[in-house]
Each structure stands twice: as structure tokens, then as C-alpha cells.
Amino acid sequence: MNTFTIPTPPTFRFAPNLAYLNRDPKECMHHIQNDQVSKLIPTSHGNTLIQVREPAPNTLQITLPAITSPIPTSHQQEITQYIHDWFDLDRDITPFYQLAETDTLLHPAVQAHHGLCIISIPDLFEALIWGIIGQQINLSFAYTLKRQFVEKFGTSTTYAGITYWTFPTPATIARLTPEDLTTIQFTTRKSEYTIGVAKLITTGELSKQALQQLPDLPAIEKSLTKIRGIGPWTANYVLMRCLRYPNAFPIDDIGLINAIKHALQMEQKPTKQEILNLAQNWSNWEAYATFYLWRTLY
């Protein structure tokens, strides 16, 4: 068994991040037990089961329970980078906390969930498909669809009686027909969008690396929204959760709208202009503001 540790920034606390990851029992991409999250992650050395816990403040312990022999340094570095991306550990969110101190909307959310980071979805295909799945349905049903999708088309590894899944690959999904997905409750349009994205990634027309080389957020948003089934909301969701732009802003998100309505005890849902007015103080931290407000609801 291999074990190593990763330091975390002073603003990071593991407990609120673990609570976020544990918010829906239908989640199939990781397993949480005894204050530890276990996940099967893709690496150049093959799919690797990792277990992450916090043995002491500002320290994460990473264990590879299924590997008994020493691993190459390159393998450990890949896992470390994945953890950094997953928990956004390279970002100093102190400025966000400073602006939240004087923001009547954000202050209670930050107080309740201090130490929470934006949990990212490092894989572009997974982020795009999760965004497509979530279009115009409630979160609970979205988790149901994702689980059905993963368990039908993904790959798995069983360790100590628990089955761990990896997200389906673009190559696998590109070979499907819409009918293959409608059998698991995808609508015809979502089926077409999902297969279309898979084909773009498989042919190399769409990649995370190519998006990261674009000059700024508007350029990436423009590139993504050219894809059938990807509107501004899905593009900003991917910018926020996968490409980790702290100024991504899915302003039309129903969760954000409901969180603001609830927090301000409004009789009607806030308009887009009202949200823009509230967000004037969030410049360059819109994604974090959105994530924390989401957390007040789920």
C-alpha cells in the first residue's frame, strides 16, 4: 500500500468539501466512508484507486490501497496534480473571503461553509456531459441519469467489496445511437448532444488543451457555444467546474436564482438585472460566489 501527503492552503478545510461530495446518495463517481473519499481516477499508468483523508489540518493523506509495490515518481506526481485540480488547491481564495465579509448575500454562506473550494471535474468530457444531463431537470433526477449512464457505459473496478466507476470515454459514446441513450431516460435531444460532443472529442476537434490555449473566458465561451447543445449556461458551468475560471458566471442557473431568492426572502425570483446588480461586488470571483450560494440549497 502506498501512502503520501499533500499540504493544503490555510483557507482549505477538508470537512466542508467532503460534505459537498456527500450531498447526494446517488453519486456514483466516488465513495465516502469514515471521513474519507475514495475515487477511481484515470492516469497514464492506468486507472488508479485513491483514498483521500485529512489526518491533520492543512494536510491531505493519499493512499493507493490496491497497489502494494512502490509507484514511480511520475505516477505520484500525476495523482498529486489531480488532487490539486480536483480541490482547486493552487488558488488563493483569500480575496474572495475578503469581499464576502462586506457582502450581505455571501457572508452567511461563507460563514456556514468556510474552507469549501470549487470541486472541479478535471475531465472535459465528463464536465460537458454532466452539464448536458443537468439541463432543465432537477438535481436529483440528474444524478439518476448520470448513474445510469456511468453504470451502463463506464468501466469499473471492485476493491474490498465496493465497486468504483470511471466515466464513459468519448470513444465509447461516439459509437452509440440516440436510441442507446433514450433507453436510460435521456431525451432524444440530450442523446444527440451527448453523442455529438463525444464525436468532437474523439476526432480531436474539441479538447481541454485547445480550449485552455484560447486567450480568455469570452473566447472559450464563444467556442463552446458553437457546439450543438451547449448554451451559455453549460459553457459557463464547464468554465467554472472543469477549466476553473473563477470569473465564470452561469447567471441563468436555476439553483443560483433560487438561492438568491431564498437568502433575500424575495417573493419573486430575481431578474437577471437584479442578479447583475447584486454581483457587482463579485468581480473575478463570480464562480466562487455561485458555488457558495448553490451550497446554501444543496
Q: How far is residue 217 CA from its own chain's centroid?
A: 18
Q: Which residues are catalytic?
A: 253
How long, in residues, is the chain?
298
Cα(97)–Cα(18) distance, integer angstroms:
20
Q: What is the DSSP string of 64-99?
A: ETT--SPPPHHHHHHHHHHHHHHTTTT---HHHHHH
- State the Cα angle at 290 between 288 and 294, rounded to 5°: 115
C-alpha 143/C-alpha 28 separation (Å) is 8
Beta strands in the chain (DSSP E): 2-7, 31-33, 36-41, 48-56, 59-64, 155-159, 162-166
Q: Please report the beta strands in 14-161, taking only residues with DSSP state E, as ranges in sequence order.
A: 31-33, 36-41, 48-56, 59-64, 155-159
How far is Cα 40 from Cα 52, in angstroms, rounded to an integer? 11
- For residue 281, give the DSSP letter: G
Distances (CA, A) of 195 to 107, 183, 223, 278: 41, 14, 18, 38
Burial bucket for residue 107 (CB in 10 Å: 0-12, 13-18, 19+): middle
- 155: β partners: 166
Q: Read off the DSSP letter of residue 152.
A: H
